Amino acid sequence: MLQTLKANRGAVVAPHHLASQAGLRVLQDGGNAIEAMVAAAATIASVYPHMNALGGDNFWLISTPGSDVVGIDACGGAAAKADIAFYRDQGFDAIPSRGPLAALTVAGVVSGWQAALDISEKWGGGLALPRLLEDAEYYSRTGFPVTASQHLNTADKLAELKDVPGFAETYLANGNPPETGTPFKNPAFARTLERLAGKGLDDFYRGGLAQDIAADLMSAGSPVTADDLARHEALVLPPLEVKLASGTVYTMPPPTQGLASLILLGVFERLGVREAEGFEFIHGLIEATKCAFRVRDAHVTDPEYMDVKPGDFLSADTLDAMTASVDGSKAAPWPEAGPGGDTVWLAAIDGEGRAVSFIQSIYWEFGSGVVLPETGVTWQNRGTSFNLADGAHNCLMPRRRPFHTIQPALARLTDGRVMAYGTMGGEGQPQTQAMIFTRHVFYGQDLQTAVTAPRWLLGRTWGVETTKLRIENRFDGSVLEALKVAGHDVEEVGPFEEFMGHAGALVRHPSGLIEGAADPRSDGIAAGF
């Protein structure tokens, strides 16, 4: 049985143990939670390359004692030349999911690191950038053991990725997926990290590195240009929040699906479910998810193109009305199938009580599949979430930001605890977040127990589309039967399925105690001291 980590000087959790340890080493060297997160984020981009990369986006929630929670939106917009006509003229009715034409949005990852470090500097953070990128550069240069997750995902997606520019040269070994445990190196990416450490992070957007990136993107056939890179900036902004009896929960506003996560919790609290793990618990969370996704699918996009205010859906009256629509004994129809995704979630808390909840993504496994030869950077395919129908919700427009499934979560509880939690996994993110939060906060489960506990998933994740209720087989059989009777299309799956997400959580108590939990479905650990 995994035990909840307990520490009091600082802690980091990530879905790969080398990333957790990189962040912990920064804390031990006197760094703060943001500096630890930059180190962990860079490292996991190196050692979990199928899940995230510098060619993706990230979002941050930062909690500082005595101050408001702050969000960072490091989401890149579509290229200036990427419009509906650009794709229709090439014979496409939908944006290709892989290849250069899928690489149509600017990568925001590095801008998010910089925006966070600007905040860290105001805290008095003093660790140099080369120190923060040290572990990531080391593992890319000298190699790290391939995880089973990387091997299996490479094998599973090989047919659709093997001919994408740069993929085979970077991710295959003699034309085959690298075997689990064999060393994996990306020397070009190591050199990129060295350049960033020497020139500064802005070099990715407005320096020599940006020129190399733009040249490789153009050569591959992507519409993203040097001007698109130069125009990009991360945004520092207030998060969305919902007030519950147990405290206030925060997440990122659109273009993320964070609004859905908050609606889900607000509705579920109002259902008054008395205990976890039974029919009422699972059915209630599922039906609350449906309420949330109807709003998400109808309204959430780039906020500059929204005609409603996200916070209006979190008012008490609106949540009451949604709750009234829930049938306690019968499953409602599932909304239209939504987007999938592949991502990493991480968190850090330092000895001063500053907490970071962080998520970084290239959308699908390996993103677009395009790997830039000069830099070793894999580019995301987040722009495939755009629609090519004129006037459609989330239709493609130049410089428009794409809809994002990824969203970190953070809570300030009424008893003084701060909880940073999250997961990867497309539509599974709001669902898994709710399972972890309610199990721990509403029902008092031990933190690691709440993360390890069996899960379910409705909707899409990891590029798989289904409306079945996929549920791990560790639930009591009578509960599964009750769900079927209520009209849920139940599909039992294995006890610890990776597609259920790589979740985790850190909780800091008013006493200074920090608890941490990592997902046994991942390669991660919670590390503290």
Mapped to the 3 state alphabet, what secondary structure does 6-21 carry?
A: EECCEEEEECEHHHHH
Strands (E), 437-487: 456-458, 469-472
DSSP 103: -
| Alpha-carbon span 476 to 462, nearest angstrom | 27
**Per the structure, how many domains does the chain have?**
1
Question: What values do phi and psi take at 495, rounded to 5?
Answer: -75, -30
Strands of 192-288 (E only): list them: 235-237, 240-244, 247-251
Averaged in consecutive runs of 10 residues, what is the pLDDT profile of the chain (529 residues)?
93 98 98 98 98 97 98 98 97 97 98 98 96 98 98 97 98 97 98 98 98 98 98 98 98 96 98 97 98 95 94 97 97 70 88 98 96 98 95 93 95 98 90 98 98 90 65 95 96 92 96 97 97
Residue closest to 420 by CA, chosen among 500, 517, 343? 517
Q: Is 227 among the domain residues?
A: yes
| Catalytic-role residue among 256, 343, 384, 461 | 343
Please report whether residue 325 resides in a domain.
Answer: no
492: part of which helix (H) or strand (E)?
Answer: strand 490-493
The set of residues, in sequence order, having a beta carbon less than 8 Å from that of 86 and lying 6+ positions away, is 223
Q: SS3 string of 277-318?
A: CCHHHHHHHHHHHHHHHHHHHHHCCCHHHCCCCHHHHHCHHH
The answer to the question of residue 32 being in a domain is: yes
Domain that holds residue 54: 5-236+343-385
Q: What is the pTM of this model?
A: 0.96
Examine residue 68 and state whether it is found in any structural domain, yes or no. yes
Cβ neighbours of 487 (radius 10 Å): 15
Q: What is the pLDDT of residue 52?
A: 96
Beta bridge partners of 218: none
CA dist list (Å): 373 to 28, 212, 226, 370, 440: 35, 9, 16, 9, 45
Report the mean per-residue pLDDT for the chain. Answer: 95
pLDDT digits (tens, 9 = 90+) for 83-122: 999 999 999 999 999 999 999 999 999 999 999 999 999 9
Residue 67 located in a structural domain: yes
Q: What is the pLDDT of residue 343?
A: 86
* C-alpha–C-alpha distance, residues 159 and 118, integer Å: 42
CA distances, 108 to each of 73, 218, 228, 232 (Å): 8, 18, 11, 8
Residue 375 lies in a domain: yes
Q: What are phi and psi of 381, to 5 degrees?
A: -120, 30
In a domain, 85, yes or no: yes
The answer to whether residue 318 is catalytic is: no
| 483 within a domain of the structure (yes/no) | no
200: left (phi over 0), alpha (psi -120 to 50) or beta: left
